[in-house]
Amino acid sequence: MSIWWEQAKNDLNAAMNSVKSRNFDWACFQAQQAAEKGLKALYIQEFNTFKKIHDLSFFAKELKAPDEILEVCFRLSPVYAETRYPDGSGKVPAKRFSEEDAKKSIKYASVILTWLEKELSPN
């Protein structure tokens, strides 16, 4: 598997560890990153090119992902800006994201990575 895929799985694990340490904004960001890197792994496999885009929905549409994946990408994609830029939502990310938000983000990323694992070539 690609280095992008390996890092995606590591980011998802880091997200779960961030929940344990109650860093919920980081857990959300790491979950989004897991999904993004996983989607990029498949995108690179399919199109033999890389795009510096953070919109999960873009990759899901390009990859002709099923509706369930498109939906979770749509829900998880805004986390990128909301966790990276404090003025994105008008609230400090460390105070804006809850444990519930983190667990939901991890669930969405897990759904995406489960689908990706079936789509990626083993090499």
Q: Are 1 and 122 in contact (CB under 8 A)?
A: yes
Whole-number pLDDT of residue 122 = 80
Distance CA 11, CA 34 (A): 5
Whole-number pLDDT of residue 102 = 98
Nearest to residue 40, comparing CAs of 3, 84, 67? 3
**Tens-level pLDDT at each residue, the chain (123 residues):** 599 999 999 999 999 999 999 999 999 999 999 999 999 999 999 999 999 999 999 999 999 999 999 999 999 999 999 998 888 777 889 999 999 999 999 999 999 999 999 999 886
Two structure tokens written together for 24: 């919920």
pTM of the predicted model over 0.75: yes
3-119 CATH: 1.20.120.330
